[in-house]
Amino acid sequence: MRFALMIEAQQGLSYEDQLSIARRAEAGGFETLFRSDHYASFPGDSGQPTTDAWAILAGLARETSTIGLGTLVSPVTFRHPGNFVKLVTTVDQMSGGRIEVGVGAGWNEADHEPLGLPFPSIEERANLMEDQLALLHGLWEEAPGWTFDGHQVAVRGGALVAGPVQRAGRPIGRNGRTRPRIITGSEGSPRGFRMAARYSDEFNLSSSTPDIAREKEAQLDAACAAIGRDPNSLTRSAMVGVLVGATDAEVERRAADLLVTVGGSGDAREYLDKRRSRWIIGTPDEARAMVRRYAEAGIERIMLQDLLPRDSDMIDLVAKELVGKV
């Protein structure tokens, strides 16, 4: 199993906080650090400071050296598709080719209204997302002069100079050049599967148990087969909540801390029990057993969603007990 660390940076994390986490994850052997792309603060206190994902990634690109960096995921409503391709390409150059890009339709209205950002219907957002995916491929892979007419975006004389960093191990486009990995995902919808089959290098499931993941992977296989794509060419991953302790007592302490952090109430054990079917929770042995269940369901990479990002000891523990061990 491959592991990435995923943080919800809108939990009041400053740039320095995120740099510290990135360096810890890099030292621990995580292959990628993903962060959310939100402007509203949650869970917990809604008045916490937030940062722009791609400004942060540009900084991290210059202050780390080996770990991959990316968003999970960037709402298409935040940035015009053409600007977004240029932005991602610039940060990719700054990182030496370590960027992965997650794209989504956006779901949280509270990210938009306070900043005057439009939040149209889900159909319009999905249409714009499809245009975004087409532009990522087109501007990275097509010959200069590319023309495109999408749902909401038209391109004439399309060109992008300079393009992505050429680095071994990256996806290879139609022009024979490498580009950043493109990730889409959700809890799984027919249109989401169709877009993933056509445009994505990786599909990331969220809020799914291993059993649900197995069902969704079968639907994704069918979407690939429908357009003649080899299903094995589409990487399968899952974003999974994580709360691990060296002992049962440490797990309980972290559960209490988590409940405070997310602004919950009641019994911390009850909070965890509701999530045990879809989170990696417990001691290292329990955590590894859950990881194996995801692997058996066809998941190839887990994005460990860390809702206690200031608890650096847990990052170290997860790196020691999971990364390279399962």
Q: Which residue in 293, 275, 134 sits closest to 198, CA to CA? A: 134
Region 305-318: mean pLDDT is 97
The SS3 call for residue 106 is coil
How many structural domains comprise the chain?
A: 1
Residue 180 falls inside a structural domain: yes
Task: Flag whether pLDDT at 269 surpasses 90.
Answer: no
Can you give the pLDDT at residue 263?
A: 86
Q: What angle do CA 39, 43, 44 make, to 5 degrees?
A: 110
Tell me the pLDDT tens digit for each residue of 85-102. 999 999 999 999 999 999
Please tell me the predicted confidence (pLDDT) of residue 146.
97
Domain range enclosing 273: 2-321
Q: Distance between CA atoms of 122 and 128, rounded to whole angstroms?
A: 10
Whether 193 has a pLDDT exceeding 90, the answer reads: yes
303 lies in some domain: yes
pLDDT beyond 90 at 215: yes
- Output the CA–CA distances (angstroms, integers) from residue 260 to 29, 30, 264, 307, in the order listed: 29, 27, 6, 11
CATH number for position 120: 3.20.20.30
* 226 within domain boundaries: yes
d(CA 90, CA 88): 5
Q: 7: helix, coil or strand? A: strand
Q: Give pLDDT, residue 44.
A: 87
Burial, 106: exposed, middle or buried (Cβ in 10 Å; 0-12, 13-18, 19+)?
buried
Q: Is residue 326 part of a domain?
A: no
132 located within any domain? yes
- Give the pLDDT score at 187: 82
Of the pLDDT bands very low, low, confident and very high (cuts 50, 70, 90), residue 280 is very high
Give the Cβ contact number of residue 250 at 10 Å. 15
Residue 138 main-chain phi, psi, to 5 deg: -65, -45
| pLDDT score for 312 | 97
Q: Which residues pair with 305 in a beta bridge?
A: 6, 241
The pLDDT of 235-244, averaged and rounded, is 98
Question: Residue 15's pLDDT is what?
Answer: 98
Average pLDDT, the chain: 96
Question: For residue 265, what pLDDT band results from cuts at 50, 70 and 90?
Answer: confident
pTM: 0.96
What pLDDT, in 10s, does the model give residues 47-80?
A: 999 999 999 999 999 999 999 999 999 999 999 9
pLDDT in tens, 106-135: 999 999 999 999 999 999 999 999 999 999
Please spell the DSSP secondary structure of 223-284, one letter per residue.
HHHHTT--GGGSEEEEEEEEEE-SSHHHHHHHHHHHHHHTT--S-HHHHHHTTTTTSEEESH
pLDDT at 267: 86
In a domain, 126, yes or no: yes
Q: Rounded CA gap, 213 and 57, in Å?
A: 29
Asked if 214 and 160 count as a contact pair (C-beta separation under 8 A), the reply is no
User: One-letter amino acid identity for 230?
Assistant: D
Query: Could you identify the residue written with the tokens 């038209």?
Result: 154
Question: Could you tell me the two tokens for 96?
Answer: 């030496």
Q: What percent of the chain has pLDDT over 90?
A: 93
Q: Does a structural domain hold residue 7?
A: yes
